[in-house]
Amino acid sequence: MSFGQQKYPQNDFRNPLDFPIILAGTFGELRTNHFHSGIDIKTKGVSGKKVYTAKEGYVSRIKISLWGYGKALYVTHPNGFTTVYGHLEKFSDKIEKYIKQKQYAKESFEVQVFPNRDELVIEKDEIIAYSGNSGGSTAPHLHFEIRDTKTEKIINPLLFGLEVPDNITPRFGGLRVTPIGKNAAVNQLPVAQDIHVEKINSHLYVSDEVEAIGKIGLQINTYDLLNHAANKNGVYSIDMTVNDTLVYHHDLETFAFDESKYINLLIDYEHYAKHYKKYQKTYIEPANRLSIYKTDKNKGFLNIKNEEHYRVEIIIKDFANNTTTIRVPIKGNKIITPIIEENLQTPYHINQNKYTVFKQGNSELRFPKNTFYKDVYLDYSVDKNMIHVHKPILPLNKSYTLTYFIDSLTATEKKYVYFAYKSGSHFNYVSTNKKDNKIYTNTKYLGDFYLKFDSIAPIIYKPSFYNKQNISNHKTLSIHIKDKETDIKNYYATIDGKWILMEYQPKKDRLFFDLSDLKATQQQHTFKLKVQDVLGNSKTYEASFYK
């Protein structure tokens, strides 16, 4: 039992599935712009596995969304905790009936409701749902969380005694040492250096000796493997000692949702943006507000003095306490060649603590106070219909506003104009607002934005029936929708003039309707579907069928 487990009840929560837990993702794992807030439990590669409540309680929240957790269920328990079940295929019959009434009342597939504590009471070992692949999931699995009901802080579910076999040590993927500030250097250079590391055995690595001077920080790439799975998961804790004294520690016992964005200060964000490899810092940036740390007064930074020797060890542990150690010998060595600092100044300087506005051509940028985690110089330019806002190598704390004044556009162009963000060779629609003679967007992305135009209606294709077909033996009615330029904004489907609940699976561009919900006495029916994109372009499909 780990120290953290002593704080939490060990026998209150059961495995939410009826077979042993194999993880596809661990708690606190490093994801894009956030930490993973639960554990991902494998469901043998398929959807439809029974999901049990981890403990008796009541359903306190049901959320159905196109992305994120997809179909998600929240159960509040009498012991002060709430469990969350995400990416579900469907709910149990009683919950399905309850939420379907809410969907029909709102005439919307996407809903969020908060039932009263006596509306959906859940008994011990009750089946509450079936596992799936809904929302932003990329493969069938169950996303499972445990939260403190009062604070809503997320807690590592493994701290509650759930059994996950693991006798594999964490894997080491790379070591970088970076100089911090003026007159600091690593191996005589003022920029971060990749350090060669030799593997001694499965749990011990030793690096080449590092020569350094001044203030430096160490970064490590690591992941964990668990029994019976090939997934590269996150580790539980990282320690760093210098001459046998602990100077840095972080562990993934618990965190709050509003902390999650600081993952971009835990990792070397610029290196990740350029090379798609995440290095975790064993030091704390000044703006980092994560609560996962314990460090000395220097916050993990090392101050290297000339001719002195330092025995650094980085100790990586997974939740099962399997340990990997990296030994890094460091020698203080003064700089032989004077460092010439590179001048990266531009006319567009942002003081982190001030509201800042820049204008160029027909564009305008507005940065609220603390948009960035530190003072920065931006590379900002406009070329015809393209606005370049720096390279996407800086993490943002909050959104800024990009505005483009469209006075010179024709009335038709104004109707169909939108922002697109260029990612590689692809252009992705950016949520675009229009007001007076301008368009604007609030974004946390840096990079190249383009003015594009979309006057093309969505397409409706591959219906599961043809006009006037008898579909008495069909269980569902399905059809596909897609917008090639931007995004689908909404859809509205009716049978015989009455709204029907069509479930939307955007990953498959598919809508489907459960024909058992069709309550009608006549045999001939008229199906009608209207689809609209974000620019207001619309398409209508109509056909009849017999049932």
Q: Region of 361 please: left (phi>0), alpha (psi -120 to 50) or beta.
A: left
pLDDT per position as a tens digit, 118-152: 999 999 999 999 999 999 999 999 999 999 999 99
The structural domains of the chain, ordered by start, are 4-160 (2.70.70.10), 171-332 (no CATH), 348-453 (2.60.220.30), 459-546 (2.60.40.1220)
* 4 and 253 Cβ atoms separated by less than 8 Å: yes
Q: Is the pLDDT of residue 2 over 60?
A: no
- The b/e string for 259-280 (b: 16+ C-beta within 10 A; e otherwise) is bbbbbbbbbbbebbbeeeebbb
Q: Averaged over 346-351, what is the pLDDT?
A: 96
For residues 28 and 153, give the distance between their C-alpha atoms in angstroms, rounded to a whole number: 12
Q: Averaged over 108-114, what is the pLDDT?
A: 98
pLDDT per position as a tens digit, 183-192: 899 999 999 9
Indicate the average pLDDT of the chain: 96
Question: Residues 6 or more apart from 118 whose CB is under 8 A from it?
Answer: 58
Which pTM does this prediction carry? 0.95
For residue 270, the 8-state DSSP code is H
What local confidence, expressed as pLDDT, does residue 341 receive?
65
Contacts of residues 58-61 at CB distance under 8 Å and 24 or more positions apart, as own/partner, are 58/115, 58/117, 58/118, 58/119, 58/120, 58/121, 58/122, 59/95, 59/115, 59/119, 59/120, 59/122, 59/128, 60/114, 60/115, 60/117, 61/112, 61/113, 61/114, 61/115
Q: Is the pLDDT of residue 340 over 60?
A: yes
Question: How far is CA 164 from each of CA 20, 85, 121, 225, rounded to the nearest angstrom?
Answer: 8, 18, 29, 12
- Per DSSP bridges, beta strands 356-360 and 245-251 are unpaired
Strand locations in 301-385 (E): 302-304, 309-317, 323-332, 348-350, 356-360, 363-367, 376-378, 380-383
What local confidence, expressed as pLDDT, does residue 182 receive?
85
Question: Residues 6 or more apart from 50 whose CB is under 8 A from it?
Answer: 17, 18, 127, 130, 131
* 209 and 329 Cβ atoms separated by less than 8 Å: yes
What local confidence, expressed as pLDDT, does residue 3 receive?
47
What local confidence, expressed as pLDDT, does residue 520 receive?
80
For residues 310 and 242, give the distance between their C-alpha atoms in angstroms, rounded to a whole number: 6
Total number of residues shown for the chain:
547
pLDDT per position as a tens digit, 464-476: 999 999 999 999 9
pLDDT band at 420 (very low <50, low <70, confident <90, very high): very high
For residues 482 and 41, give the distance between their C-alpha atoms in angstroms, rounded to a whole number: 31
pLDDT per position as a tens digit, 190-216: 999 999 999 999 999 999 999 999 999
pLDDT per position as a tens digit, 270-319: 999 999 999 999 999 999 999 999 988 999 999 999 999 999 999 999 99
CA-closest candidate to residue 443, choices 368, 375, 344: 368
pLDDT per position as a tens digit, 395-415: 999 999 999 999 999 999 999
Residue 281: what residue type? K
For residues 180 and 214, give the distance between their C-alpha atoms in angstroms, rounded to a whole number: 8
Beta bridge partners of 403: 364, 440
Percent of the chain with pLDDT over 90: 94
